[in-house]
Copies of this chain bind each other. A is one copy, B any other.
Amino acid sequence: MSAGHEEDLVHLSTTSRVEAFSDGVMAIAITLLVLDLKLPNADVGDGSLLDALLVRWPTYAAYLAAFLTIGIIWLNHHTLIAKIARFDARLHWLNLVLLLGVATLPFPTSLVAEYVGKGGANASVAAATYGLCATLMALPWSFMWRHLRDHPELLEPGYDATYASAEMRRGGIGVPIYVAATIVSLIQPLLALGLYAAIAALYAVTSQGALAPRPGSDPSGTADGGRR
């Protein structure tokens, strides 16, 4: 078999396949969110569609927050996987926990859309459910980095235990922030909705750092900067 043939028939590396499955789950979860926008016919009847749409503004706010959150998680996940050379069983499990959080997010998002605008105890419960799910999504990151710190042989060349330690600390910030927002949500559900959006935006800024060139890479950055 010639070299040309070989190149014709490549296998993807294990991390590419984990990413393919994860990308699939995240792409579906982010796209399923639209189903909650659906307007029940009974809510319009012979009345004004415009009024029926406008009164549902918390639904759109929740949709945007959840879309942004999953979008950023995808971006960060993408950056994480680019630094991992291979997955062992523990990384697979932690990744499944992360995907559980992402795949479940449309559920609390629909609760927030439905109940936060109505106020009262139900608004608090809805906002807190979103917070618990977001916490579940924030948890695996630092556990993954701790495992990578202890097993730096799983990392791509150019990354080591020191790098993993730093990422473990950075990834650990999300959990207390989301726990705090969840507690706030019990008292001020609308404020918590704003907090969730703010955290997503904060992660967005942080992820820009994550997209920076790897340590010690070619300073010109053209080949490696946005390498994966």
Show the binding face of A for B, using Cβ within 8 Å.
1, 3-17, 19-21, 23-35, 37-39, 41, 44, 48-50, 53, 63-64, 67-68, 71, 74-75, 78, 82, 86-89, 92-93, 96, 99-100, 103-104, 106-107, 110-111, 114-115, 121-122, 125-126, 129, 153-154, 204, 207-208, 211, 222-223, 225-228
Q: Choose from B11, B37, B39, B115 the contact partner of A16 (Cβ within 8 Å).
A: B11
* Interface of chain A, main secondary structure: helix
In the complex, what distance in Å separates the CA atom of A204 from the CA atom of B96? Answer: 12
**6 CB < 8 A contacts A-B:** A8-B11, A12-B16, A17-B78, A21-B23, A21-B78, A68-B96
Tell me if A88 and B211 are in contact (CB < 8 A).
yes
Tell me if B129 and A53 are in contact (CB < 8 A).
yes
